Amino acid sequence: MKPVRGRLFLLAMIVVVSLVLFLPSTPLFSKMPDWWKQNLPSKGITLGLDLQGGIHLVLEVESERAVEIAVDRLVTNLTDVLGDKKIQVESIKRTGPFEITVTTPSAESKDAVLKLADDQFPTLSSRLSGNKGLVFTLKADEAERIKKAAVNQALETIRNRIDQFGVAEPLIQQQGLRQIVVQLPGVKDPGRAKALIKNTALLEFKMLDEDHKIARELPSRVPLGKEEEILREFGPKIPPEDEILFERNVDKESARVTKTPFLVKKRAALTGDVLTDARVSIGEFQNAYVSINFDNTGGKLFERITAENVKKRMAIILDNTIYSAPVIQERISGGRAQITGNFTMEEANDLAIVLRAGALPAPVKIIQDLTVGPSLGRDSIQKGIRSTLVAGVVVVTFMMVYYRVSGVIADFALVLNLVCLLGALAGLNATLTLPGIAGIILTIGMGVDSNVLIFERIREELRTGKPVRPAVDAGYDKAFLTIVDSHVTTLITGLALFLFGTGPIKGFAVTLCLGIAINLFTALVGTKVIFDLLNRRGRTERLSI
């Protein structure tokens, strides 16, 4: 009796643990006392996108733009190094997605530029262009590395932003070479979430070019939507090292939006990659602004820039939009700055999130956008529950009619299987999807499949004239390898679906694999305990099977 008692205790413990784990997924959990909520598991099964609603996005990283940004940085670095080495050049500019053209005043300068590039810029290959010109091209393997790194960095950046946004159980994974799939269950404001994900968050500090006459000819305000007209009118007149960017203004009384054009230097004096923190703060007039901190390198650079440009204006630019263009009154030390504007608290918080999480290495575009309403999810849940109940009733009835008392024992194993499966899903904080419900329904059928094999073996033993106890033992022994064989092969299939499948397929694979493992336990241990109890206590001479 000791082995039976031990197995009974094990089954009871498993049922209790499963119920405790599943309780947070039920309405009863809200009625539990505080000590229960604080000391026992409080997370249950999370409903997937197709059951509770949310958004499904497929993003494509513009990896070619990441290469262009990298080449622009090489232009800046090359310019700085040539200046430090006192090597004279007439111009340095990017003339193609992968090309940098350097014009030199003499053959000696050209040779010096070539030697320096070979020593310090190994990712560039060079060729001659005329007597004084040089064309540097980014090597193909380096361009490919930048593209792959851009997708990986974009994936990590988007994941960091969503984590700070506070979405439970998001799905973020790469699809193909340049695409990223994002599923956000339960999101109440899809527009805000999409803006937060898509925002490139390229923060730049650029000096205004106030000495050029075009800067004085630009209008002080233009209506929203008239930016292209300003660019067409003044674009051909501006010098090649400058560009026109706009600041967004919102009238607090009328809520009317206007734009202020500024002539700014194309070359960024400082970029956001030297940021260490960004937080929302409240000003003396209860206006929200974003306070940013630089690292040591950024702090020193910001201090030098502000010292060299006292009484000049510096534009703070995020994704080619000017947020503010303050006058530098004095040298700013300490590695701190502020981004001010007509922010609401929510806008300032979102800006701080994207700055903390880091800038995307390249722009992303949304190529698929699906919004799933919660009503569709409720309908799916109701139909899933109805299907599960119908399948359960049919299977339970069949087993009771065909196998009689033994069928009731198999039905006990089925209920035990479902209880343990729901407890395991809750314990793993798994996300339940519509395919996952299909996996549970499939588990109902598999829950009695093993018992059918065992019962048929027992019938064969009883026909040979064996007593009930030896017949039951022989039935379990002879069916053991067959049951393990079938379960292991199905488990391998489920693991393959989980490893190589996408979101919905993974949801099906999780319930399938858990159901198989639990079914193996309930079929070989759960029902055997009941038969052992019947045989031990009543010394059964005839088995209803």
Q: Which helix (H) or strand (E) segment is 392 a member of?
A: helix 374-427
Q: Which residues contact 138 (CB under 8 A, 6 or more apart)?
A: 67, 70, 71, 74, 98, 99, 123, 124
**Fold equal for 54-198 and 203-340:** no
pTM of the model: 0.56
CB of 121 closer than 8 Å to CB of 148: no
**For the chain, which ranges sit under pLDDT 50?**
1-2
CB of 99 closer than 8 Å to CB of 182: no
Q: Which helix (H) or strand (E) segment is 267 a member of?
A: none
> Domain spans of the chain?
2-50+373-538, 54-198, 203-340
Q: Which residues contact 188 (CB under 8 A, 6 or more apart)?
A: none
3-state secondary structure 66-132: HHHHHHHHHHHHHHHHHHHCCCCCCEEEECCCCEEEEECCCHHHHHHHHHHHHHHCCCEEEEEECCC
CATH class (in words) of the domain with range 2-50+373-538: mainly alpha
Cβ neighbours around 401 below 10 Å, total: 9
Cβ neighbours around 330 below 10 Å, total: 9
Convert 293-310 to b/e letters by CB count within 10 Å (16 or more is b). bbeeebbebbbebbeebe
CATH topology of domain 54-198: Alpha-Beta Plaits (3.30.70)
Q: Which residues contact 337 (CB under 8 A, 6 or more apart)?
A: 291, 292, 294, 302, 316
Rounded distance between C-alpha atoms, residue 102 and residue 113, angstroms: 9
Rounded distance between C-alpha atoms, residue 471 and residue 275, angstroms: 75
- Sheet of 91-94: strand order equals 91-94, 99-103, 133-138, 124-129
Rounded distance between C-alpha atoms, residue 124 and residue 23, angstroms: 61
Q: Quick one: pLDDT at residue 244?
A: 92
Q: Which amino acid is at 429?
A: N
Q: Taking the chain, what is the end-to-end CA distance rounded to the nearest angstrom?
A: 24
CB of 483 closer than 8 Å to CB of 449: no
Rounded distance between C-alpha atoms, residue 151 and residue 359, angstroms: 13
DSSP state of 430: P
CATH of 203-340, one of 3.40.50.970, 3.30.1360.200, 3.40.50.300, 3.40.220.10: 3.30.1360.200
Q: Quick one: pLDDT at residue 165?
A: 67
Nearest C-alpha neighbor of 352 from the set 203, 205, 252, 245: 203
DSSP state of 313: B
Rounded distance between C-alpha atoms, residue 435 and residue 50, angstroms: 9
State the pairing for strand pair 46-47/431-432. Answer: parallel
